[in-house]
Structure 1
Amino acid sequence: MPVDPISLEVFKNMFESVAEEMGVALQRTSYSPNIKERRDFSCAVFDPQGNMVAQAAHVPVHLGAMPASVKAALEVFPDSLNSGDIVILNDPYLGGTHLPDITMVAPV
């Protein structure tokens, strides 16, 4: 289905703003100086298949491993993730990059 350029830009910015708002919420509620002051985190929006739709302008190094973590969560819980559920991962074989970093996956 073709999408006109204006609608495409509207949806692109809408999904990017969702990712940015996720980062604002994380930063405001964090007790960690790494997150609160250094902004050492990344946020992104994925589709139901685990493909990245939009990302916020945070630390891009996290975004490389994030799709693998999201897809791993979807493989482990293919039909059982519901609103309010959160999968927390830091397994290096499932997209974790280093031990102190975690990836949180939540359906919306």
Structure 2
Amino acid sequence: MSYTIDPITLAVLAGRMEQIADEMDATLFRAAFNPIIAEAHDASHGLYHASSGDTLVQGKSGLPIFVGVMSFAVKAVIDKAAEAGDLVAGDTYIFNDAHLGGTHLSDMRLVRPYYRDGELFCYLASVGHWHDVGGAVPGN
């Protein structure tokens, strides 16, 4: 199936998707009790392709280091849940596995499928630094 889209509509849609990711950033930064997230913005959010897990758009306020690894976290959910048929609307997968798109123990990933008209449209993903998750040093 192929679609054609005029440049103005494309720009409007791209801007809307960027705004969604930026609002994800802003919401977490305002609501977080964790000062590492609220003040240092050690987090990132984005929208990811429904079948490949590739990055569609990522918020501008989060840490750029997460841009390169978040798609691996989404791909892990696709590989482990979607392909097994276990993926349903409303599921949220939370993990910090270094081999599945992780950076270090305290960076937790949340990946959630987003459905539109009953079909998987994209994945919403978030990563943030949670403290006291069992590191080698207290407060890690």
**What TM-score, normalized by structure 2, do the two folds share?**
0.72
Q: Deviations over 1:15-62 (max 9, x none)?
A: 111111111221122111011111111111012111211111121101
Pick the aligned partner of 2:69 from 65, 70, 93: 65
| Bigger shift: residues 28-37 or 78-87 | 78-87
Structure 1 runs not aligned, ≥5 long: none
Q: 4+ residue stretches of structure 1 with deviation over 3 A?
A: none
Structure with more contact order per residue of length (Cα contacts < 8 Å, sep ≥ 6): 2
Q: Percent identity?
A: 36
- The total of aligned residue pairs comes to 108
2:56 is equivalent to residue 75 of structure 1: no
Larger % of strand: which? 2
Question: What secondary structure sits across from 2:66 in the alignment?
Answer: helix
Instruction: Give the C-alpha shift of residue 94 in structure 1.
Output: 0.8
Question: What secondary structure sits across from 1:42 in the alignment?
Answer: strand
In 1, the alpha carbon distance for the partners of 2:20 and 2:50 equals 16
Q: Deviations over 1:67-102 (max 9, x none)?
A: 000000111101322232111121111110111101
In 1, the alpha carbon distance for the partners of 2:75 and 2:103 equals 15
Two-structure CA RMSD over aligned residues (Å): 1.2
Aligned partner of 2:110 in structure 1 is 104
In 1, the alpha carbon distance for the partners of 2:107 and 2:21 equals 18
**What TM-score, normalized by structure 1, do the two folds share?**
0.92
Instruction: Give the C-alpha shift of residue 64 in structure 1.
Output: 0.8
Structure 2 runs not aligned, ≥5 long: 115-140
